[in-house]
Amino acid sequence: MIPAGTIIRSIAIVATATVALALTACSQFEPRDKRFYYRAMWNFALREDLAELDSEFNGVDFGHSNLYENLLLTGGHDVPAIEEQARRETLAFIATKPRLNPNEEAIAPTYMKLAWRAQNTFDEAHALHRATYDVVVSDEPDKDRAIRDVLAYYRNSAYAITSKRLDHRRLDRFPYSKAFRTRFPLFNATIWSYHYLQVAVYDPLQAATDLAAKTKAVRPILTTYRRYLEHPPVQWTFMPLTAELSPQFAARYPDVANIFDNLHMLHDNISDILTSERLPTWEAKRQEIYRVVDHYYLASADETNPMIVKSEQEHRH
């Protein structure tokens, strides 16, 4: 009789080899040209002064990566694996109130190998999110200049998302669109709750005059967010938008607000791609992820991007 341990090790070796072969077939080897964050005196102001809010954002980072890894490995078919297990893992991580950003490559190694360039597009925009929180929370006297500087640094990246307003409704009408929210409504509502938190705090933080006021201002938003985690808002039909939840921030920094909304729409697109049966292989998913990123989201495509809204009337329509 073959020992049980030998059988388990053999199964693990076969599974690892299968994943490795699939990723090799996807030509996953890409340069890891990751940039360091913008360095300034206000770096980590959020972590140091509003640790409660900062820890929630660390939980968000885990949630996105954990979702993508599980969608990829399950083929987007296993509802309990996503709605119950993966979501429960994410909520458990958030509940630990992590003090530091999680290592997303350790959380989602398979997805990172499949579409690292798309992940780095997320990482650059997430760094812009963090920088703007730090500026708003800090005692930096010229916050407008600081945000202009960090936006200029962001735009200097080959991975920068366009700051033009995109037609999010059209971007939500690909053949595979809505696959994720239809099959996994609880986790989709959890993702949209993250995005609610990310953009809803800007106006209250900007309006508050000192740290005590900022701490008090975000408490109701955190309460609402945590209620959404317990009871996901599955009744929502579209992702939260910056101008809806922080209209003053969006009016003052429209380019930054557009980048954040476009980032969140890209999250939805990739969730749908990883879920959809219309893209049955990893290579098909990888190609579509990069097609969407390259043609509709990167700032380098602004001259030819058909999704850019040309007028306010067109946007309302």
Asked whether residue 14 is domain-assigned, the answer is no
Q: Kindly state whether residue 224 falls inside one of the protein's structural domains.
A: yes
Residue 76 counted as domain residue: yes
Work out the pLDDT band at 30, boundaries 50, 70, 90: confident
Count of domains in the chain?
1
pLDDT greater than 80 at residue 50: yes
Give the separation between CA 113 and CA 116, rounded to whole angstroms: 6
Note whether 200 and 233 are within 8 A (CB): no
29 pLDDT more than 80: no
Task: Return the percentage of the chain with pLDDT > 70, whole number.
Answer: 89
Q: What Rg value do the Cα atoms of the chain yield, rounded?
A: 20
Length of the chain in terms of residues written: 317
Both tokens assigned to 254? 């429209």
Q: Which two tokens stand for residue 99?
A: 């003090």
Say which residue, 257 or 12, is predicted with more confidence. Answer: 257
With 50 as the cut, is the pLDDT of residue 10 above it? no
Could you tell me the pTM of the whole model? 0.89
Q: Is 161 exposed, middle or buried (0-12, 13-18, 19+ CB in 10 A)?
A: buried
Q: What is the pLDDT of residue 34?
A: 86
- 107, part of any domain: yes
pLDDT at site 31: 77
Residue 181 lies inside a defined structural domain of this protein? yes
Query: Domain range spanning residue 223?
Result: 43-316
pLDDT at 311 over 80: no
With respect to residue 21, please indicate whether it lies within any of the assigned structural domains: no
Task: Express each pLDDT in 180-231 by its tens digit.
Answer: 999 999 999 999 999 999 999 999 999 999 999 999 999 999 999 999 999 9
Q: Is 18 a domain residue?
A: no
Question: Over the stretch 271-280, which tens digit does the pLDDT of each residue have?
Answer: 999 999 999 9
**What pLDDT is attached to residue 7?**
40
Is residue 22 one of the residues assigned to a domain?
no
The reported pLDDT for the residue numbered 33 is 83
The residue type found at 247 is: P
In degrees rounded to 5, what are phi and psi of residue 161? -75, 145
